[in-house]
């Protein structure tokens, strides 16, 4: 009897597999896998871990409607956990999808689902898209632990009628409760790293502008606002973060110099206390030393939360070697008087269409 059941099961699997191969190409999603291996060495730990394995499933449901699903297998506190990192649908031209052939104006976009919130230049990115192994103190303190602040809900975006690229985004979300181990960067080794803890409803706003100064120069400027627990009637129960980011790109032949600055001020309370202010900033410089090698410098600054704690700063040096189009090696050194000096080594590899982000 068992043999008969197994034979039926195998026949069913073969039938399903054959049926899938008969589907049209447009019915099949793009499937990719990205691995993130990180080694850490400081006075308290010497580890080499597979920090993340990310699976992505991407597919156009309609010419202007795309679905993106990112599932991550993370190592947290020595244990593996599976998490839906992002799962959302993007409507690039909302009005003409809802009411086709009506001649309505285009430019209104909509995102629904779970998404990394668009605050600044770093939070919306996945680890394989970062320029450094770890996140800056600003992001680790104000925008959640681990990979960043994500939430479930919806976002509207509109291109403004200006002579340069300008996009306004507004989102309303439900906070996602998750936090990954930050010990690899040393961010949890100081009192100030308790950070903002979001709950209930979130409201996010971002104005993103890009202006070409010349054929070789471009400037991007972003204004950001995030309100946590937006439905609360008492301001002391809310968390408010305001920020600005600026990016300058300079083409140097076939090389690129990128200078970036991000500044934020947060007002929040801890454990039922009244809200107090805290500021943070991060400055980075990245340059292509050779065709396949990038050099980077990052300076982090984190102020006191009200009258508690003390100011913290950190300098990070990084070199990234692109081995192939879908793999790269990175070595980073973090130096700080308040935090542990740490050496980080990273190897990222990818398989599938989504691996292009590693280039």
In the prediction, which pLDDT does 184 show? 53
- Residue 9 inside a domain? The answer is no
- Residue 328 inside a domain? The answer is yes
CA atoms of 74 and 247, how far apart (whole Å) = 31
- Residue 17 inside a domain? The answer is no
* Statement: residue 93 has pLDDT above 60: yes
- Residue 16 inside a domain? The answer is no
Going by C-alpha positions, the residue among 232, 248, 252, 249 that lies closest to residue 240 is 232
Residue 112's CATH number: 2.40.160.10
CA atoms of 253 and 358, how far apart (whole Å) = 21
The residues, ordered by sequence, that sit 6+ positions from 225 with a Cβ below 8 Å of its Cβ are 204, 205, 206, 240, 241, 242, 243
Tens of pLDDT along 21-70? Answer: 455 545 788 999 999 999 999 999 999 999 999 999 999 998 889 999 99
* Statement: residue 12 has pLDDT above 50: no
- Residue 91 inside a domain? The answer is yes
- Residue 82 inside a domain? The answer is yes
- Residue 1 inside a domain? The answer is no
- The tally of domains found in the chain comes to 1
Structural domain that includes position 144: 32-358
Q: Please provide the average confidence, as pLDDT, over all residues in the chain.
A: 87
- Residue 236 inside a domain? The answer is yes
Total Cβ atoms within 10 A of residue 44: 11
- Report yes or no: 346 and 34 within 8 Å, Cβ to Cβ: no
The mean pLDDT of 337-345, rounded to a whole number, is 95
* Statement: residue 111 has pLDDT above 90: yes
**Integer CA distances (angstroms), 292 to 131, 217, 288, 295, in order:** 14, 22, 8, 10
Q: What is the model's pTM? A: 0.86
């Amino acid at each position: 009897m068992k043999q008969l059941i197994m034979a039926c099961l195998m026949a069913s699997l073969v039938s399903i597999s054959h049926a899938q191969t008969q589907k049209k190409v447009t019915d099949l999603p793009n499937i990719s896998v990205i691995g993130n291996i990180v080694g850490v060495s400081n006075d308290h730990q010497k580890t080499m871990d597979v920090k993340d394995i990310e699976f992505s499933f991407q597919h156009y449901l309609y010419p202007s409607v795309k679905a993106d699903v990112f599932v991550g297998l993370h190592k947290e506190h020595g244990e593996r956990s599976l998490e839906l990192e992002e799962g959302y649908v993007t409507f690039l031209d909302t009005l003409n999808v809802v009411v086709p052939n009506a001649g309505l104006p285009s430019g209104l976009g909509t995102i629904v689902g779970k998404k990394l919130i668009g605050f600044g230049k770093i939070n919306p990115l996945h680890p394989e898209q970062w320029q450094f192994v770890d996140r800056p103190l600003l992001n680790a303190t104000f925008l959640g632990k681990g990979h960043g602040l994500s939430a479930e809900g919806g976002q509207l975006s509109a291109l403004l009628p200006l002579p340069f690229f300008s996009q306004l985004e507004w989102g309303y979300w439900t906070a996602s409760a998750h936090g990954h181990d930050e010990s690899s960067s040393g961010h949890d080794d100081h009192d100030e790293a308790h950070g903002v803890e979001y709950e209930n409803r979130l409201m996010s706003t971002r104005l993103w502008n890009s202006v070409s100064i010349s054929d070789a120069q471009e400037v991007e400027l972003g204004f950001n606002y995030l309100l946590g627990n937006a439905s609360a009637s008492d301001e002391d129960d809310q968390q408010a973060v305001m920020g600005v980011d600026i990016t300058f790109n300079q083409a140097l032949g076939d090389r690129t110099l990128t200078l970036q600055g991000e500044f934020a001020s947060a007002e929040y309370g801890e454990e039922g206390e009244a809200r107090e202010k805290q500021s943070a900033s991060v400055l980075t410089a990245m340059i292509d030393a050779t065709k396949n090698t990038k050099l980077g410098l990052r300076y982090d600054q984190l102020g006191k939360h009200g009258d508690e704690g003390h100011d913290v700063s950190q300098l990070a040096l990084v070199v990234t070697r692109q081995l192939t189009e879908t793999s790269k090696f990175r070595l980073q050194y973090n130096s700080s008087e308040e935090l542990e000096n740490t050496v980080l080594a990273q190897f990222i590899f990818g398989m599938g269409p989504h691996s292009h982000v590693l280039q």
